[in-house]
Amino acid sequence: MLVVQNEGNGGPRRFGDWLAEDGLRLDVVHAYDGAAPPRALAHDAVLVLGGGFMPDADDRAPWLAQTRALVAEALRSGVPVFGICLGGQLLAHVAGGAVKADAGAPETGSVPVTLRPEAAADPLFHDLPATVPGIEHHVDAITALPADAAWLAQTERCPYQGFRVGERAWGVQFHPEVTPDRIPQWNADRLRAQGYDPDDVHAQAVADEPVSTPVWREVCRRFAAVVRASVPS
């Protein structure tokens, strides 16, 4: 599985551990540190992680152009894709949706993510609790989904929290890979300027983790199963 890491602190974390437990081998490209994504897709799945860029910010993150090309190739060939935060926005962008910088109120910390009726038939999101906490950390957001996307999840401030393009490509705005220990590493002054108390943000995430972790673990397990089933025997 190709993993594109867009920031130094933005690794796959527990999501990568879970995928490895489920039999996937991760090939992590540290794009933020100068490593280039491959020119052609030779992997069985793609995971694009978060980062503080717009999906087409090629002037700041020149590797994004090739990442977009790889995601487009995966969509054409049916290779499974999972995009987190920037990765989800990039998937939406490639598939014909819209992403806007500084789109409305920021979301930070553990936030209730509500599943939509479309989730009932989705391979990853079916039969989950109606509302699940998800850790958020973004100001940019998807403002329109691709025309053929299945809209799976939303929050009060940001409607497009989860979606599927085609049969095997998913994007989420929240961070299923992040645990509460990451929150104290965020810029506390910036959080306060956005109206958040850093201690409260951390405490809420700690309180919600026992609820959220098993749900996102199951979503990861289901994605790994999609990947394994898509590989020719």
Residue 85 annotated in active site: yes
Cα angle vertex 173, ends 170, 175, to 5°? 95
**Catalytic-residue membership of 156:** no
As a residue count, the chain comes to 233
**The two three-digit tokens of residue 100, written as one number:** 């806007």
Type of residue at 138: H
Is residue 177 part of the annotated active site? The answer reads: yes
- Catalytic residue (choose from 43, 85, 136, 220): 85
Given the structure tokens 């599943």, which residue do they identify?
A: 115
Q: Which one from 137, 177, 202, 220 is the annotated catalytic residue?
A: 177
Contact by Cβ (8 Å): 211, 110: no
In sequence order, the 6+-apart residues with CB closer than 8 A to the CB of 171 are 82, 83, 84, 87, 88, 89, 91, 92, 142, 162, 163, 164, 165
Which residues pair with residue 131 across a beta bridge? Answer: 114
Q: Which residue is catalytic, options 43, 137, 175, 202? A: 175
- Give dist(CA 226, CA 128) in Å, integer: 17
Beta-strand (E) ranges in 17-106? Answer: 27-30, 46-48, 81-84, 98-100
Catalytic residue numbers, as ranges: 85, 175, 177
